Amino acid sequence: MALTIKIGRGHQTALVRLEMDIRKSMSGDLMIFDHGDIDIVLSPSDNKVLAFPKETMTDLVYGAQNRLFAHLRKRGLIIPESIQAGAFYGVIEGEMQKSFKEDLDTAKMALINISKFIDEERPYFESTEAIISMADDELIHPDKEDSTELGEVPQSTEKGSIRPGFIRDPYSLSYLYTI
């Protein structure tokens, strides 16, 4: 969805067009779903940026959250000492800086920089998704050399590494059980 932001006042205004998967919540928070690992919530009313994990909390999610807040901190949009864990499991939040100029809105600047961050990260999570789908395709549609047709494997009395008659548990080790 295209989003146009007006920055500045009077004759010094600029229009910025952003292409993002973004929605507005009932409370007025902006929810951004473009990133592959995290969902980002920009809350102008609370003056905060929150990063939620998409599905499960992993090292990849924490790395993405860390890179997001490092990106915003380096641009002077987040107060560095305010970055902390949120109220929910896996959430990281940070408080936005107050603007010293009346014509600049911190939330709009944060939205532009979040869009830049997602554009920088896009090749990474798109390549990860491509690798996962290739691995799935190899399991679902294997090559001729990696698969056998039904009935091609000859039958025999002993197959594999587990021989019948041996007891395998921690106390009997591998003694032969005979009846």
Is pLDDT of 178 > 90?
no
In whole angstroms, give the CA distance from residue 21 to residue 8.
24
pLDDT at residue number 101: 73
Q: Which helix (H) or strand (E) holds 135?
A: helix 106-140
pLDDT tens string 88-97: 899 999 999 9
Q: Is 170 exposed, middle or buried (0-12, 13-18, 19+ CB in 10 A)?
A: exposed
In whole angstroms, give the CA distance from residue 47 to residue 65.
18
């789908």: which residue's tokens?
133
Is pLDDT of 129 > 60?
yes
Q: Which domains does the chain have, with CATH numbers?
A: 22-129 (3.30.1360)
Q: Considering only residues 178 and 61, tell me which one the structure prediction assigns the higher pLDDT.
A: 61
Is pLDDT of 146 > 70?
yes
Using only the alpha carbons of the chain, give its radius of gyration: 27
Q: Which of 150, 76, 80, 147 is nearest to 113 (CA)?
A: 76
The overall pTM is greater than 0.75: no
Q: Is 95 in contact with 45 (CB distance < 8 Å)? A: no
Mean pLDDT value of segment 82-108: 87
Angle, helices 106-140 vs 59-74, to 10°: value is 150
Torsion angle in degrees (nearest 10) through CA of 9, 70, 124, 120? 30
pLDDT tens string 28-80: 999 999 998 899 999 999 999 999 999 888 888 999 999 999 999 999 999 99
pLDDT at residue number 68: 96
